A and B are shown apart, each in its own frame.
Chain A
Amino acid sequence: MTQTVDQIFVLGKHWLLEYVPIAAKPIVSAVLSVIPIMVAFPLLFAITTWLERKGLGRMQNRLGPNRTGPMGLCQPIADGIKSLTKEDIVPLTADHVVHFLAPLLLVAAAFLAYAVLPVGRNMVLVNLDAGVLFFFAVGSVVELAVFMAGWSSRSKYSLLGAMRAIAQMISYEVPLVLATVAVIMQSGSLSTVEIVERQAGYTGLLPHWYVFTPWGILGFILFMIAATAESNRSPFDLPEGESEIIAGYYIEYSGFKFALFFLGEYLGMFATSGIAITLFLGGWSAPLSVLTFIPSWIWFFAKLLVLICIFIWIRGTLPRLRMDQLMSFAWEFILPMALINMFVAGVWHFMASGFVRWIACATLVIVPCVVLSALLKRKKKLQLRTYSFAE
């Protein structure tokens, strides 16, 4: 019974495919696999916008939206109608083709990233041999879309916001990939399905998730920090900080294109959370071996919701980082810690399993953390700020 509920989507798809002529089977199979992704994640986006506004409101000691529907639950629908019916203003001097293509490229790249996420047992769109590499390749297309948006608007604010956003995304992409390399070293494969299957075992009650190892905890924390920076979310949202640069690179967009940017950003957030779940939190496997009767896709979405709530929580709590603080944090703390994390993962792999391994790796993680954060905090003397340009 639990097996059936677990595989209900796969069985439903096979049942539907029996009514399709042989010639059209591959195309219909692909379409039937893609439609749930294109339905589920925008639905999750709608729920997240409501959750975020309510959550942030509560953290800021106010009610969130509470007028549209009971507890403001129809707010996403209202937002959707608003953005669809707003006038689509394009500046006269803007580059029309690039201005039009930028949000499309962003949303297309964000959707492409879901192709390698194993949402449940046997429920991945494409089991690519180099799945994790595909994910990061698609993530780097997002930077190009951000630049296109910022540059095509021909406005100083949007160009500045785009430059900052790209610098931030490039800086944090390196620790993101390095934190992943530790997982790849341990699991021996770039395929997301295989990474999840290696974490799906249990010793007694506890699972084999990578987050329950010293390098896994550090890697997970580094990955989440880098993922927050990659999606331009607070506290790394200087490129789109509303109080500073008005809206950064999508300042000249209105109406539905603005909603597409919003959608693309949140989809990127979900995708990186999904990959974090796949790499560190065991994908679709249950946290305790007694709970495996609950279907695997419910576990995936539960973990995704927990991570989204953590994102919202951090947004409501921490202040925004300044650009130079952000960059120095990336290059002087996160990157060395990611390299040390790789080293610790190697040490973990080659030591015999037991208590000594835990102590050694925990020390190797904590000591550099303390040293690097002390180095980062050393007092910088006040001096006249110098600017450097290309001239």
Chain B
Amino acid sequence: MNGLQACLLLSALLFAIGLAGALTRRNAILVLIGIELMLNAANINFIAFWHYGAATPRITGVMFAVFSIAVAAAEAAVGLAIILAAYRRSRTTDLDAMNSLKG
């Protein structure tokens, strides 16, 4: 297992844990954190391929990661605002209790 495979495996593990957290936790904020972790895993992939990639001096990997960080921060802000608004309506952050659209 060379360096690239190690980095990719780490990012896959991070992605899987983030996905597990986003799918299983009750608290809405922790679901959002799981999504942030998935974005971070994708960023690790970009930087790993940039580092182990072709020898030509291209910085596409770094640029993509920087833009991805910016977009993820914006999305975290909006997501937390939505959670705050939902909390104000239903007085809880428990996702299992917000099922009034069900059935």
Contact = CB atoms under 8 A, between A and B. Distances in A.
Interface of A: 390-391
A390 B91 CA distance: 10
Main secondary structure on B side of the interface with A: helix
A391 B84 CA distance: 9
5 contacts: A390-B84, A390-B87, A390-B88, A391-B88, A391-B91
Interface residues of B, number: 4
Contacts of A391: 88, 91
B65 to A, nearest CB: 14
A390 B92 CA distance: 11
Nearest to A389: B88
Interface of B: 84, 87-88, 91
Contacts of A390: 84, 87-88
Main secondary structure on A side of the interface with B: loop
Closest 5 CB pairs of A and B: A390-B84, A390-B88, A390-B87, A391-B88, A391-B91
Contacts of B88: 390-391
A391 B90 CA distance: 10
Contacts of B91: 391
A317 to B, nearest CB: 38
B18 to A, nearest CB: 20
Contacts of B87: 390
A247 B88 CA distance: 32
A391 B87 CA distance: 7
A369 B84 CA distance: 37
Contacts of B84: 390
A390 B81 CA distance: 11
A79 B23 CA distance: 53
A390 B87 CA distance: 8
A391 B89 CA distance: 8
A391 B91 CA distance: 7
B76 to A, nearest CB: 15
Nearest to B84: A390
A131 to B, nearest CB: 18
A390 B88 CA distance: 6
B80 to A, nearest CB: 11
